[in-house]
Amino acid sequence: MAYVAHARDFNLYKVGFDPVREENSAESITVTAGSTPLADPDFSPDGQWIVFNAHLTPQNLFLVRSDGTGLRQLADGGQMDRCPAGHRMEG
């Protein structure tokens, strides 16, 4: 028997970055966990929150703290035109 398996990870991760050395400065931290495909993440101006959509039908919006806590759903419905990128949130 032969088969091919494709593993996809649909989660958000956080990693430190050293701009002087232009390299990652820490191990990655999992912000979200699960198998729902996520798309179009955008950050609050202070970097403490991430908004993203579930890239499914319906395309609902979610909000989570950058440390992975406080996950909550912001929008619910059948629309497929929700995209948080480019929109700024007030913290």
Tell me which residue range forms the domain holding 34. Answer: 13-73
Structural domain includes residue 60: yes
46-79 pLDDT, tens digit per residue, is 989 999 887 776 778 889 999 889 999 887 766 6
Structural domain includes residue 89: no
CA distance 69 to 50: 11
Structural domain includes residue 6: no
23-49 pLDDT, tens digit per residue, is 887 788 888 888 777 888 888 889 899
CA distance 15 to 30: 9
End-to-end CA, the chain: 54
How many domains are there within the chain? 1
Structural domain includes residue 48: yes
Structural domain includes residue 62: yes
Structural domain includes residue 30: yes
Structural domain includes residue 28: yes
Torsion angle, alpha carbons of 23, 31, 34, 90, to 10 = -120
